[in-house]
Amino acid sequence: MPDNQWSKPVEVGFGVAGYRVVSGPFEALILLHDMWPHRSGAHFIRARNACKAAVEGRVNPELARDEFIAAAEEAKLSTH
């Protein structure tokens, strides 16, 4: 598996569940699967697919990062 860490981690706020720091597409996939509040949006689906592809080495991890941030915005989660 190639080095799949993002150039800059993303901090995502989940309300009372607190913030999670996500350093790459594998960690993002875990959050998308386990903690995501809305799993039917277009950005959610693109983020899930992009993160999976990045983990498999088929796309640049930074593309997955961009899609993950867009999914967080779609779900109205705060990001830093």
- pLDDT grade for 3, boundaries at 50, 70 and 90: low
- Asked whether residue 79 is domain-assigned, the answer is no
- Asked whether residue 5 is domain-assigned, the answer is no
- Asked whether residue 49 is domain-assigned, the answer is yes
- Asked whether residue 48 is domain-assigned, the answer is yes
pLDDT tens readout for residues 6-36: 999 999 999 888 999 999 999 999 999 999 9
Nearest-angstrom CA–CA distance, 36 and 4: 21
pLDDT tens readout for residues 47-74: 999 999 999 999 999 999 999 999 999 9
- Asked whether residue 14 is domain-assigned, the answer is no
Domain with 59 in it: 23-74
Please count the structural domains in the chain.
1
- Asked whether residue 66 is domain-assigned, the answer is yes
Instruction: Inform me whether the pLDDT recorded for 1 exceeds 90.
Output: no
The confidence score (pLDDT) of residue 56 equals 96
For residue 18, give the nearest of 69, 71, 80 by alpha carbon. 80
